[in-house]
Amino acid sequence: MLNRTKHYALLSLIGILLGLMSAAKSMAEDLSPPQQIIQSVSTQLQQKLQDKTFTRNFAQVTRFVNGVISVHTDFDKIAPLVLGKNWKTATAEEKERFKREFQTLIVRTYSRAFIEYNDWTIRFLPFETMNDAAKTIVKTEVLQPGQQPVDVNYRMLLINGEWKVYDIMIDGVSLVTNYRATFNEEIQSKGSLSAVIDGLAKRNTEALSAKGSE
């Protein structure tokens, strides 16, 4: 199971994706290109929420969420960051399998939150330029009725002219770092990366099958 930080991170990301964004929309021309990526994704998913039958089909939601977030997420960079030292010793097949199954994990978790949590809004914080023009951090606050604002910051890279997310920080805690700790523990417990990937693939299949039958 995801620990509290990772679970909060995923829900917070969905909050960003599902935020009403009214203030941001009215000031779209004032947003930086990386901020516009977050806004664009949010708008696409918000439009889907207007279709009352859409969220009843989990397979459909999963396909759509995958199509939206995969375009703006650099899983080629995230996978090595998550595995850390284990990436260096992994075979080419293990690397490809892990990247595929990890993306499936993220997508199905996002999809579940997409269905269950929709009463969120986002507030962009002032954009700060960095010394490295190819890297930036988009700072936001996710708001939910009756709850304290949650700081959600996106680490993004400029790749071939497009900004992509490669990490999310929730109240200063990195989602990548949390997953790395989890997978390191599993690899030590199960004895090999291959065994961990097998387990992840099994959980993904079972979760998607269970949701798809509802």
Give residue-wise pLDDT tens across range 165-183: 999 998 999 999 999 999 9
The contacts of residue 16 (CB under 8 Å, 6+ apart) are 38, 42, 120, 122, 140, 142, 152
Task: State the Cα torsion 80-82-85-90 to the nearest 10°.
Answer: -60
Asked if residue 45 has pLDDT above 90, the reply is no
**What is the CB-side half-sphere exposure of residue 85 using CA atoms within 13 A?**
5
Query: Where are the chain's structural domains?
Result: 4-212
Question: Do the beta carbons of residue 122 and residue 142 sit within 8 Å?
Answer: yes
The pTM score is 0.81
Report the CATH number of the 4-212 domain: 3.10.450.710
- Strand-pairing partners, residue 162, are 159
Higher pLDDT, 194 or 42: 194
- The token pair at 26 is 């009215």
